[in-house]
Structure 1
Amino acid sequence: MSMLKGANVPVPAQSVRVELGWNSGPGVPDVDASALLLVAGKVRSDADFVFYNQPRHSSGAVRHEGKQTGGPTITDTLSVELSRVEPAVERIVLAASADAGTFGQVPGLYVRVLDAATGAEVARYDSQDATVETAFLIGELYRRQGAWKFRSVGQGYSSGLGGLATDFGISVDEPAAAAPAAPAARPAPPSAPTPSVATTPPVPPVPAAPPAPPSAPAPTPVRLSKVTLTKEAPSVSLAKQGGSSGAMRVNLTWQVRKQFKGWGAKLGRAVAMHGDLDLDLCALYELSDGRKGVVQALGNAFGSVSRPPYIQLDGDDRTGGSNTGENLTINLDHKNELRRVVIFVTIYEGARSFADLDATVTLQPLNGAPIDFSLGECTVPSTVCALALITNTGSDLVVQREANFLVPARGVSPQRTIDQAYGWGMNWTPGRK
């Protein structure tokens, strides 16, 4: 049962998942979940703000896990280990923000608190009175007499995530409006001669105060910007987004739709026959010296971030619906040694096609805005999909959304199919995990 606004319930679990959900559809803006850890009503520093650009609190107690799609419903999830929350933190504010729209355009908005161990619902609040708000303080976890409780709030902001964050003490990096030009000063009228007066004896100089010690550099304000690639706007410069150094994490998450038709019916039967769908995230690379290769789980070709190819597969997720998905890390400190990279995904087992599969790709540079996009609907019997092409232009890396579903010819592997489509020209031999 949904709670009334302002109601509260005990939270007996030691670890919870906070699920923000809404219904997708034409004209519905994207929504993002975030959390603020408060002491005396304010954050202690910008590090107490957990959101898509800063997905993990330094204590490890709060993490932004990302979005999942299930039919018409989209969820964005935060995980909170209440036992690890620092004693000084009194409240964890749970917020929602709408990207390029208002919450009056977001149907079915709700927040659920789930026991992370059992999946049991601890609390639920459905927002039903949103209009022009672009950010919502939708609920909060708070301490009371040594125990945790959840309160539904439903307080809106028309100033977006930046306004909400600023209200709790976050310094936000937003472009400042240009100041209006000052009017030109009029020339002063000629002054009248002044009479001479007697001068007083000079005052002895006061000894100069010792110079103040240099102050610590001001912390970098939080960046709220993010980039979503679409068919109409498929590419972005990493340098322009601030992502020109450090590690860039490439994440793929997926979920099988519940209703099947067309090629989806074949996928549904395949999943029923073989269990969980297992996708493999891979990368073809070409280095600046001409060397080429692949990073993938097959053949244990996991790569490396500290030496060529400066790309590493973090692991092999067999479910995709988990909080982690499949991940690649690219070392942007060695971007000059990368000529081009094709990031792609193959079906290892569990289905014959990508049809009726919802998948999201996120590229998160350490020092830049996240870049994300969905693959869209697959209408062909594809077992391999090119996700993104990263190209070195000589001064920058450009990320191009591909979302290119390919159908291998009979007897041709998915890897060779990608190779042929993008002109890599490598020799291939069978491999296994």
Structure 2
Amino acid sequence: MTPGSNLPLSAVRVAVDVTAPVRLDVSGLLLAADGKVRSDDDFVFYNQPAGPGVTHSAAAGGGDTITVDTAAVPDGIEKIVVTASLDAPGATFAGTEPTGTVRNADDGSVLASFTPPQLGTETALVVVEIYRRAGAWKVRAVGQGYANGLAGIATDFGVSVEEPAAPAAAPGKINLDKGRVSLQKNQTVSLVKGGRPLLTSVRMGLGWEPAFRSKSIDLDASVIAYGPDRKKVDNCFFGKLMILGGAIQHSGDNLTGEGAGDDEAITVHLGGLPPEVTGLVFVVNSFSGQKFSDVAKAYCRLLDAQSGEELVRFDLTHSEPRTGVMMAKLIRQFSGEWEMTALGEYVDARTVRGMVKPAGQAL
């Protein structure tokens, strides 16, 4: 197909695959006659993978797929636009040609394909649209680009976008513009600096000291990765030091908590996380069964893994006689940035396995 061309759809259920040599975030927006979504529920993407008649999935061979069941699309929806934005911060489509392939979702046969030509400074674009015309469904090649990423597309089509640089719109939410952030329990910080998401590698350092006159205590730091349905994708701990193709790595087990500095650290390459990972929960457990009331100065801190600069710190100011604590969570927003929220919630669990359910509930 060429830009602006259209074809009638010969299938009721169609799948639109969007692929490129680089990592893309693909989404589908259900638009009413006014060209806007009816609500944010009409925005379908990795963190909200299902809408009325439209679903998002990650394709096995790379790329993402938006599937449209035209028979299930509500009467008030005139078109579904399929968009793509670049996952890497600051990257443009110059030299990168994404391809949209429209298939019959039931038998896999290809109905059409479209590669937008001559892309330059765009960081996001509308690839194709599935639309109604005189009671029949058609597909149109679009290729319209945006220089302000997925947020530009979302705003254009009526999705409410939370601007990280405008704290007034999000009470209690802060960013990294003023330097290191010290969080209180349940406070959230957007990992945004100078209006740009921080998508480099970060390191979560966790530390503790034995309480006064207590014996050394063996605590274990772990991270659990979740998908948008709050189901565990994988977990990284002292018995599994690397997961998700190396996107998350554990420093190894510290058996005592003795000494200054972080006792255990977990490095996360945010840009390398697969799209199905939308949430991370960092937890600490007392494998030996000692209670957190025997621990002093437990904390977690997020650092820039390249420079070692401390970005965010959360000190536990109270303890409970339990064996597990959820320290913090990192959540991926649809606009691409990550947010860190301090948790400080105690549970009875001596291993990371016992943390999976309560940590999922905390997302």
1:54 aligns with 2:43: no
Q: 1:397 to 1:13 in 2, by over 3 A?
A: farther
1:138 to 127, 137, 145: 127
Rg comparison, structure with higher value: 1
Look up the SS of the partner of 2:93 in the other structure. helix
Q: Which runs of 4+ in 1 moved over 4 A?
A: 227-230, 234-237, 281-285, 358-361, 392-395
Q: What CA deviation, in whole Å up to 9, does each residue of 1:364-416 have, x standing for no partner? A: xxxxxx148xxxxxxxxxxxxxxx9753676634579xxxxxxxxxxxxxxxx
Q: What CA deviation, in whole Å up to 9, does each residue of 1:50-80 have, x standing for no partner? A: 11221111x2x11111254x4xxx3111111
Structure 1: which 5+ runs fail to align?
25-29, 180-222, 238-242, 252-280, 286-357, 364-369, 373-387, 401-421, 425-433
Alignment check: 8 A CA contact 1:391 1:398 kept = no
Partner of 2:149: 160
Q: 1:111 to 1:283 in 2, by over 3 A?
A: same
Q: 1:157 to 1:236 in 2, by over 3 A?
A: farther
Shift of 1:126: 0.6
Alignment check: 8 A CA contact 1:23 1:106 kept = no
Partner of 1:92: 80
Partner of 1:248: 230
Q: TM-score, normalised by structure 1?
A: 0.43
Give the counterpart letter for 1:248 in structure 2.
R
Q: What is the distance in 2 between the residues matched to 1:122 and 1:137?
A: 19
Shift of 1:91: 0.5
Q: What is the distance in 2 between the residues matched to 1:50 and 1:79?
A: 10
Q: Equivalent residues in 2 for 1:380-419 (5 A)?
A: 390-391=283-284, 396-398=326-328
Q: What is the distance in 1 between the residues matched to 2:160 and 2:54?
A: 20
2:29 to 33, 36, 42: 36
2:115 to 108, 126, 130: 126
Q: Equivalent residues in 2 for 1:10-89 (5 A)?
A: 10-24=8-22, 30-40=23-33, 41-57=35-51, 59=52, 61-68=53-60, 70=61, 74-89=62-77
Shift of 1:146: 1.3
Give the counterpart letter for 2:326 in structure 1.
D
Shift of 1:139: 1.0
Structure 2: which 5+ runs fail to align?
169-189, 207-224, 239-271, 286-298, 300-315, 317-324, 331-350, 354-363
Partner of 2:158: 169
Q: What is the distance in 2 between the residues matched to 1:67 and 1:233?
A: 27
Shift of 1:173: 1.3
Give the counterpart letter for 1:66 in structure 2.
A
Q: 1:42 to 1:63 in 2, by over 3 A?
A: same
Give the counterpart letter for 2:40 in structure 1.
D
Q: What is the distance in 2 between the residues matched to 1:224 and 1:38?
A: 31
Q: 1:66 to 1:423 in 2, by over 3 A?
A: closer
Q: What is the distance in 1 between the residues matched to 2:122 and 2:273?
A: 29
Alignment check: 8 A CA contact 1:136 1:156 kept = yes
Q: What is the distance in 2 between the residues matched to 1:171 and 1:399?
A: 23
Look up the SS of the partner of 2:50 in the other structure. coil
Q: TM-score, normalised by structure 2?
A: 0.51
Q: What is the distance in 2 between the residues matched to 1:224 and 1:123?
A: 39
Q: What is the distance in 1 between the residues matched to 2:30 and 2:113?
A: 21
Q: 1:247 to 1:7 in 2, by over 3 A?
A: closer
Alignment root-mean-square deviation, CA: 4.2
Alignment check: 8 A CA contact 1:250 1:361 kept = no
1:233 to 188, 191, 202: 202
Q: What is the distance in 2 between the residues matched to 1:101 and 1:176?
A: 17
Shift of 1:108: 3.2
Q: 1:52 to 1:247 in 2, by over 3 A?
A: closer
| Greater fraction of residues in strand | 2
Give the counterpart letter for 1:160 in structure 2.
G
Shift of 1:128: 2.2
Shift of 1:35: 0.9
